[in-house]
Chains A and B, each alone.
Chain A
Amino acid sequence: MGDEPLVRWDWIWRNWDTGRPDSILALLESHVVMAFLPVLFGLMLAVPLGLACARWRWLYQPTVSVMNVVYSLPSIAIFIVMLAITGLGQATVIVPLTFYSLAILIPAVVDGLTSIPDHVRKSAVAMGFTPLRRLVGVELPLAVPVVLAGLRVATVSSISLVSVGALIGQGGLGYLFIDGWQRQFTTPIVVGIVATVLLAVIADGLLVLAQRLLTPWRRA
């Protein structure tokens, strides 16, 4: 390495927006897509599944066990298996990451729904809420904080995991790691790490903001 600086700023300026798919901006864009869609899909699936688990408690243990297995699958391995099924495309990364998100979000939804104090649930019943109204009007809103906490972890993990996809050619900012490694050049690697962390911090901040807006009764 010798006297090569850790970061060469001129490289960043030159590659910021070249219009090619390997420009930093284009990689950032595909990274965002591949990181957020899985969380979105995961949430859409986790709410009905979590509701089912909260309703029929016997479903919960098996679901959690399956999700634990999913969670321990090494991401590269699933990416490779997906490659055989979906071919090379963003779906190769999005589908497995959706399952990771699910593994985090289902327990969060179930915990959120079951953490509602019993007296709140009972008083809702006593006031004559129908089960559906109770769900929509009382239980879901009160579960929001716990679900959002799970969503924060899922989002940040997803953002960080996308880069592994670079090993199979679909990794958003992860491409910068491969590129830097192959050229023995640290600048793209540092740029990739910093951009990934910044992205995660911004997303996390937005979720905290959402938490404030969605649960005004919790503001201390």
Chain B
Amino acid sequence: MNWLIDFFSNPTNWSGPGGIPARLLEHLEFSVVALLLAAAVAIPLGLWVGHTGRGSFVVVVSANAARALPTLGILVLVVLLVGVGSTWPVLIPLVLLAVPPILVNTYEGVRGVDPDLRDAAYGMGLRGPQVLFKVLVPVALPLILLGLRLAAIQVVATATVAAYVGLGGLGRFIMDGLATKNYTITIGGAFLVVALALAAQAGFTLLSRVAVSPGVRRVR
């Protein structure tokens, strides 16, 4: 506790390019961009595979293998190959991290929709895309949002490794504290990361309250 108070009451931690607001913003930037990129790839792919059933085996197997990709390893490899000039090297491992949970949950969500429901939808004369967007997506939405939420938490927590290769974000506090054995800074940085992850979690919970139909959100 004392460490946290030390960290947050120290004015030098609040200003300049290395201050809390700047680092928080950097961290948020990596995370949001990585999540958006991952969603842009994983959601359409998951919808398509779940709807058509084509390539589902390949997708599930490779998504599971992709979960095993070590973020730190990918990060150092990308930076070694392309150099540090910009933030985008850190986006690659984060996108790779975020794709599997979004993809798998989207796919499972769509695939898990009651076949009778699809049947009724086609039987009433909905066309393929209408079935997907008017029926399958709304019904699968809780799972799609769950995938996004899990991905967001992992991305926020893992974006800390960017600091290892000299990039910014809240990981800087953690790494710098480690390097200088000043653990006050490490713990303060970790605290901020957790707060951000929990905020993301709360955001998605709120989003699902608003976006998911009460008819689908029914309690078990």
Does B associate with A? yes
In the bound assembly, the distance between CA atoms of A177 and B198 in angstroms comes to 29
1/0 contact trace for B33-65 toward A, CB 8 Å? 000000000000000000000000000000011
Residues B174 and A77 in contact, CB atoms below 8 Å apart:
yes
Query: Which among A128-136, A140-148, A181-189 touches the partner chain?
Result: A181-189
Residues A156 and B76 in contact, CB atoms below 8 Å apart:
no
- Does B157 make an interface contact (CB < 8 A)? yes
Given contacts A77-B160, A168-B178, contact A160 B69 (CB under 8 A): yes
Query: Which among B7-15, B125-133, B186-194, B210-218 touches the partner chain?
Result: B186-194
Q: With a CB–CB cut-off of 8 A, which chain B residues contact A181?
A: 76, 79-80, 164-165
Residues A197 and B65 in contact, CB atoms below 8 Å apart:
yes
Residues A68 and B201 in contact, CB atoms below 8 Å apart:
yes
The number of residues on chain A lying at the interface, defined by a beta carbon within 8 Å of a beta carbon of chain B, is 44
Q: With a CB–CB cut-off of 8 A, which chain B residues contact A74?
A: 157-158, 160, 171, 174, 190, 193-194
In the bound assembly, the distance between CA atoms of A168 and B179 in angstroms comes to 10
Main secondary structure of the interface of A (DSSP, over half): helix
Chain A: minimal CB distance from B198 (Å) = 6
Residues B72 and A186 in contact, CB atoms below 8 Å apart:
no
In the bound assembly, the distance between CA atoms of A75 and B193 in angstroms comes to 11
Residue among A71, A176, A190 with most chain B CB within 10 A: A71
Residues B67 and A156 in contact, CB atoms below 8 Å apart:
yes
Main secondary structure of the interface of B (DSSP, over half): helix
Given contacts A72-B157, A72-B197, A186-B81, contact A200 B67 (CB under 8 A): yes
Enumerate A175-205 residues with CB–CB distance to B below 8 Å: 176-177, 180-181, 184, 186, 189-190, 192-193, 196-197, 199-201, 204
Residues B77 and A190 in contact, CB atoms below 8 Å apart:
yes
Residues B178 and A80 in contact, CB atoms below 8 Å apart:
yes
The number of residues on chain B lying at the interface, defined by a beta carbon within 8 Å of a beta carbon of chain A, is 39
Which chain A residue shows the least CB distance to B66? A197
Chain A: minimal CB distance from B214 (Å) = 20
Chain B: minimal CB distance from A105 (Å) = 15
Residues A200 and B174 in contact, CB atoms below 8 Å apart:
no
Residues A177 and B72 in contact, CB atoms below 8 Å apart:
yes
Enumerate B157-190 residues with CB–CB distance to A below 8 Å: 157-158, 160-161, 164-165, 171, 174-175, 177-178, 183, 186-187, 189-190
Residues A80 and B174 in contact, CB atoms below 8 Å apart:
yes
Residues B65 and A180 in contact, CB atoms below 8 Å apart:
no
Chain B: minimal CB distance from A143 (Å) = 15
Which chain B residue shows the least CB distance to A192? B73
- Does B143 make an interface contact (CB < 8 A)? no
Residues B165 and A80 in contact, CB atoms below 8 Å apart:
no
Q: With a CB–CB cut-off of 8 A, which chain A residues contact B70?
A: 160, 163-164, 173-174, 177, 192-193, 196
- Does B156 make an interface contact (CB < 8 A)? yes
In the bound assembly, the distance between CA atoms of A181 and B72 in angstroms comes to 10
Given contacts A167-B178, A189-B77, contact A72 B67 (CB under 8 A): no
Q: With a CB–CB cut-off of 8 A, which chain A residues contact B194?
A: 69, 72-74
In the bound assembly, the distance between CA atoms of A196 and B164 in angstroms comes to 20
Residues B68 and A159 in contact, CB atoms below 8 Å apart:
yes
Binding site for A on B (CB under 8 A): 64-65, 67-74, 76-77, 79-81, 153, 156-158, 160-161, 164-165, 171, 174-175, 177-178, 183, 186-187, 189-190, 193-194, 197-198, 201, 220
Binding site for B on A (CB under 8 A): 1, 68-69, 71-78, 80-81, 84, 114, 152-153, 156-157, 159-160, 163-164, 166-168, 173-174, 176-177, 180-181, 184, 186, 189-190, 192-193, 196-197, 199-201, 204
